[in-house]
Amino acid sequence: MRKTIAVALTGASGMPYGIRLIECLLAAGCRVQLLYSQVAQIVARQEMDLALPARASEAEAWFSAQFKAEPGQLQVYGREEWFAPVASGSNPPDAMVVCPCSMGSLASIAAGLSSNLIERAADVCLKERRPLILVPRETPFSTLHLENMLRLSRMGVVILPPNPGFYQHPQSIAEMVDFVVARIMDQLAVPHELMRRWGESASN
């Protein structure tokens, strides 16, 4: 059975992580339910010169063509699309990743606000005990940020800051991005070959 993974892009720096994650999940054969905020559109343009379409149907067509998704493998939902599967515990994804995750989104999820589809989808994962991974991109963290992360961690949420390691001697930004995406894929238990694992030689 294919895994269904909800991916949410919010208005924090680190959009290359989220876009690469979508690409890798599709390549691994997962179904992807994509959500993104209005501020994420601004960040995508600033960091990647990428114009994310405002309309979900246009975004779905663009991502599907860009990453060669199979028909129906990728679905994109608008911010207020309350009839989307992710909005109900009767049809939750197998897991959800918010990448990048802004501190505002993290705080709203911690408080259970559910004021938009991203927050509601995260709330569904929490109440249905589905894996929820947040990739917070901020530095330094304030005490409030840390308290919100601790609160979520105690609920079983994985807090995965995008901190690439350097023991693999990365030669490009893309390799540093893949390091973080590999950690996310591991948490989702989705196979990948993005990098050698610790202790493996180049011949393995």
Angle at which helix 143-154 crosses helix 103-111, to 10 degrees, equals: 50
CB atoms within 10 A of CB 156: 12
* 176 labelled ligand-binding: no
Cα 101 from Cα 159, distance rounded (Å): 10
E-assigned strands of the chain?
4-9, 31-36, 74-77, 95-101, 132-136, 158-159
13 is in an annotated binding site: yes
11 is annotated as contributing to ligand binding = yes
- For residue 197, say whether it is annotated as part of any ligand binding site: no
31 annotated among ligand-binding-site residues: no
- Check whether 12 is labelled as a binding-site residue: yes
Check whether 102 is labelled as a binding-site residue.
yes
**Edge-to-edge strands, sheet with 158-159:** 74-77, 31-36, 4-9, 95-101, 132-136, 158-159
The response to whether 103 counts as a known ligand-binding position is yes
What whole-number distance in Å separates Cα of residue 76 and Cα of residue 91? Answer: 16
Flag whether 115 is marked binding: no
Q: Where are the alpha helices (DSSP H) in 28-164?
A: 38-48, 56-66, 103-111, 117-127, 143-154
Q: In this structure, what DSSP letter does residue 197 have? A: P
Nearest CA-CA partner of 31 in 81, 78, 91: 91
The reply, when asked if residue 17 is annotated as ligand binding, is no
**199 labelled as ligand-binding?**
no
Provide the annotated binding site for FMN. Answer: 11-13, 37, 102-105, 137
Give the residue numbers of the binding site for dimethylallyl phosphate.
167, 183
Annotated binding residues, as ranges? 11-13, 37, 102-105, 137, 167, 183
